[in-house]
Amino acid sequence: MADLSGRRIAVLATDGVEQIELTEPVQVLKQAQAEVIVVAPHGGEIQGMNHDEKGSKIAVDQTLDEAPAERFDALVLPGGVANPDKLRMIPEAVAFVRHFVEADKPIAAICHGSWTLIEAGGVSGKRMTSWPSLRTDLRNAGARWEDNKVLVDGRLVTSRKPDDLPDFAREMLNLFEKTTQRHAS
C-alpha cells in the first residue's frame, strides 16, 4: 500500500461530478494517509451524479479562492459530463489546473475530467485515455488518445470510466507516491 502521509491532494469538482469518480479516489488517497481537500468554485456541497441520476451531496472542503494551487502536491480531476464542462468555463478553475500543468505536478484525470485539462493546456503530446466521446477533443488538443483502462504518461494518469477505478486508483497512488514530497506535520 502506498504511503502518502504528508502529501496534500486537491480534488477539483463542482455540481454534476460523477460521484464514484470523486468518492473512490478520495477514499483510496485517505487510506494511503494523504490529506485530501475537495475544492470547488462554491462552498457548501456539490451535487454528485450516478450517471444520469442525482446522487449524494458531497461536502466542499475549500473554495477555489480559499485554496491556492501552490499548497497542493497533486491534483485529481473526476469526471461526469456536467462537472468538467462547468469547470472549463470558470477562469479560476482553469488557472488552478494550469498551475499543476506548468509546475509539472502529478495529475490524475478520469472519464470527462480531461476536458478541464484541455482548457488548461495540459494534454499536448501526452498519451491519454478518457471516456470515448472525448477522443476527438483530446486529439484536436494534441494528445495521443488510446482506448485503455488506464494510461500513465510522465506525471499524468488517465482512465476511461467508473469500471476502471481499481486500475486508476492503483496507478494514481503509484504516481503520487513517486512524484510528490512528504511535508512535515
pLDDT tens, 21-57?
999 999 999 999 999 999 999 999 999 999 999 999 9
Comparing CA positions, the residue from 109, 101, 106 lying closest to residue 73 is 106
What DSSP designation does 183 have?
A: P
**pLDDT band for position 184 (50/70/90)?**
low
3-state secondary structure of 45: strand
The proportion of the chain whose per-residue pLDDT surpasses 90, expressed as a percent, equals 96
User: What integer best gives the mean pLDDT of the chain?
Assistant: 96
Q: Which CATH superfamily is domain 8-179 in?
A: Class I glutamine amidotransferase (GATase) domain (3.40.50.880)
Write out pLDDT tens, residues 131-149.
999 999 999 999 999 999 9
pTM over the 0.75 mark:
yes
The 10 Å Cβ neighbour count of residue 103 is: 11
Q: To which H or E segment does residue 37 belong? A: strand 35-40
For the chain, which residues make up each domain, given as ranges?
Answer: 8-179
What's the pLDDT score for residue 41? 98
**pLDDT band for position 181 (50/70/90)?**
confident
What's the pLDDT score for residue 1? 78
The secondary structure of 168-181 as a DSSP string is HHHHHHHHHHHH--
Angle between helices 19-31 and 165-179 (to 10 degrees): 50
Name the catalytic one among 42, 51, 99, 112: 112
What's the pLDDT score for residue 116? 96
Which segments of the chain does DSSP mark as H helices, in order? 19-31, 82-87, 91-102, 114-119, 135-140, 165-179
Whether residue 167 is predicted with pLDDT greater than 90 in this model: the reply is: yes
Please give the distance of CA 89 from its chain centroid, rounded to a whole number: 16
Positive or negative, the Cα torsion across 95, 142, 20, 26? negative
Question: Mean pLDDT over residues 114-128, rounded?
Answer: 97
Positive or negative, the Cα torsion across 119, 82, 114, 18? positive
What's the pLDDT score for residue 126? 98
Please give the distance of CA 101 from its chain centroid, rounded to a whole number: 12
Name the catalytic one among 51, 99, 111, 183: 111
Active-site residue flag, 42: no
What DSSP designation does 6 have?
A: T
